[in-house]
Copies of this chain bind each other. A is one copy, B any other.
Amino acid sequence: MNSNRLEQGLQKLHEIDGEAGQAVINSLQHISPDLARLTIEFPFADVYSRPGLDLRAREIATVAALTALGHCAPQLKVHLNAALNVGCSEEEIKEVIIQMAVYAGFPASLNAMFAFAEVLERRAD
């Protein structure tokens, strides 16, 4: 049932992104509750809940992709936090960002690294 997908997605979202993920969903409620629901259901209930890849590997893949795409800084910051939440070390995340210089160029890596600096500062507060 749909309500199950929503519940399952919310639980997975909370497990991965903590309050940052919920904040994104909340900020969508006013403008498009439907997109908020779809953003919980497909990514978190249908994809992140699948077996076959642990959450650390999933967040490494997402940080890599968002760094390479280059045009989604807010989502990258959410997933840099998420990567730390699910057990990636700071050093591992920096390595993923550095490696993206090979595939998406230095500007993509530099911008992601500056985003990570911001994320780490906020967590330190």
Residues of A within 8 A of B (CB): 1, 24, 27-28, 30-32, 34-35, 38-39, 41-43, 46-48, 50, 52-53, 56-58, 60-72, 74-75, 91-92, 94-111, 113-114, 116-117, 120
5 A-B pairs within 8 Å (CB atoms) are namely: A35-B101, A38-B47, A48-B99, A71-B71, A102-B106
Give chain B residues whose Cβ lies under 8 Å from the Cβ of A41.
Answer: 46
As for how many copies of this chain the complex holds, the number is 6
A69-B67 contact given A92-B52, A110-B28, CB 8 Å threshold? no
Give chain B residues whose Cβ lies under 8 Å from the Cβ of A50.
Answer: 34, 95, 98
Q: Are B58 and A57 in contact (CB under 8 A)?
A: no
